[in-house]
Structure 1
Amino acid sequence: MEMDIGISKKDRKAIADGLSRLLADTYTLYLKTHNFHWNVEGPMFNTLHLMFETQYNELALAVDLIAERIRALGYPAPGSYAAYAKLSSIKEEQGVPNATEMIKQLVAGQEAVVKTARSVFPAAEKAGDEPTADLLTQRMQIHEKNAWMLRALLSK
């Protein structure tokens, strides 16, 4: 059955493509944050272990919201590591960096997600896609706050 939600197929495709990049960034950041939660060491262990857990749990919920929005627009959501590797602006960590480097990488990751979300906003706004605009606004608020909180740990 043909979809008729007041957004053209071309606009829905552009938005879904942008959301697919956001999904890939979010999932990659989830994986990196979970990895760092497992492997963090040092004097800030407990603080970071708990903070990373809070953040990866939130990211796990976010990937579902983003994927379901892509589906609501009529397109398949990417769901493989190979797809995420092609779409994500965040690079995976192959080793186990020290705690300070973990924080720096997660700040960069949080900010990367904000930039990706912000890049999708014009297409959603142009199409009058308020549900996507709302999702993007919420994601940007969360990631900007997380970046700030992580960055505060680096202050001397």
Structure 2
Amino acid sequence: MNTSIGIKNENLAKVAEILVETLADEFVLYTKTKKAHWNIEGQDFYNKHLFFEAQYQQLDGIIDTIAERIRTLGHYAPATLREYLALTHLSEHHLESNDSLTYIKALLSDHESILIHLRENIENFAVEFRDAGTSDFITGLLETHEKMAWMLRSHLK
């Protein structure tokens, strides 16, 4: 069944394609944040364990809203690790240490990468694809990642 919401089908497909990549990025970042939560070591273990937990819980909510946005546009959300790894802009990497600074730097880099990707697409959603709803949605997501990145960056000062 066609999604008839005032956006051309080809534009819906292009928007969904970008959102699918964003979903993959978010899922990979979620997994990396969960790893930090599980494996953090050091004198600041307890505080960082709780900090990473709060961040992965926030990412879990983001993942759900992106998948639901994709479905709202009439497309299907990927949901396998293989698909996510094929679609993501992020990379899996082995960290040399399980201390908080190592995790924070790696996660901050990923948030910043997602921020750049989101910022590159906001105007495309609104202007090129005529989808103000997704543009607004991505703006909110951008603001959430900016705050999460700020929280991570603040630990480095």
Aligned 8 A contact 2:111 2:145 in 1: yes
The residue aligned with 1:77 is: 77
User: Structure 2 counterpart of 1:119, which letter?
Assistant: E
How many residues in Structure 1 have an aligned counterpart in Structure 2?
155
Q: Report if aligned partners of 1:16, 1:75 keep a CA contact under 8 Å in 2.
A: yes
Indicate the residue corresponding to 2:122 in structure 1. Answer: 121
In structure 2, distance between residues paired with 1:117 and 1:147: 14
User: 2: distance between equivalents of 1:48 and 1:94?
Assistant: 19
Residue from 116, 126, 148 that aligns with 2:150: 148
* Alpha-carbon separation, structure 1, partners of 2:14 and 2:120: 11
Gap runs ≥5 in structure 1:
none
1:42 matched to which residue of 2?
A: 42
| TM-score relative to the length of structure 2 | 0.92
Q: Is the 8 A contact 1:26 1:62 kept in 2?
A: yes
Aligned to 1:103: 104
Deviations for 1:15-57, whole angstroms, at most 9, x for unmatched residues? 1011011100100000000110010011221221111101100
Partner of residue 87, structure 2: 87
Which segment drifts farther, 92-101 or 41-50?
Answer: 92-101
**TM-score after normalising by structure 1:** 0.92
Quick one: distance in 1 between partners of 2:3 and 2:57? 33
Query: Are the counterparts in 1 of residues 2 and 74 from structure 2 also a CA contact under 8 Å?
Result: no
Compute the displacement of 1:133 (Å). Answer: 1.4
Instruction: Please report how far the alpha carbon of residue 93 of structure 1 lies from its aligned counterpart in structure 2 after TM superposition.
Output: 3.4
Q: Which runs of 5+ in 2 are unaligned?
A: none
Tell me by how many angstroms 1:152 deviates: 1.4
Q: Which amino acid aligns with 1:88?
A: T
CA contact (8 A) 2:36 2:52 kept: yes
- In the alignment, the residues of structure 2 paired with residue 93 and residue 12 of structure 1 have an alpha-carbon distance, to the nearest angstrom, of 33
User: Is the Cα–Cα contact under 8 Å of residues 37 and 53 in structure 1 kept in the other structure?
Assistant: yes
CA contact (8 A) 1:11 1:123 kept: no
What's the CA shift for 1:96?
Answer: 6.4
Check whether the contact 1:19–1:120 (CA below 8 A) recurs between aligned residues. Answer: no
The answer to whether the Cα contact below 8 Å between 1:24 and 1:88 also exists between their aligned partners in 2 is: yes
Residue type of the alignment partner of 1:15:
V
Q: Does the CA-based 8 Å contact 1:25-1:112 persist in structure 2?
A: no
